[in-house]
Amino acid sequence: MDWQGQKLAEHLMQLMLVFFAVVAFITGYVLGSFQTMLLIYAAGVVLTSLITIPNWPFFNRNPINWLDSSEAEKHPKPQPAPISGPKKKVSKK
Please state, rounded to an integer, the average pLDDT across all residues of the chain: 86
Is the pLDDT at 11 greater than 70? The verdict is yes
Position 3 scores a pLDDT of: 84
Contact 2, 59 (CB under 8 A): yes
Position 43 scores a pLDDT of: 97
The count of C-alpha atoms lying within 13 angstroms of the C-alpha of 42, restricted to the half-sphere facing its C-beta, is 6
pTM of the shown model:
0.66
> pLDDT tens, 52-85?
988 888 888 887 777 677 776 777 777 777 777 6
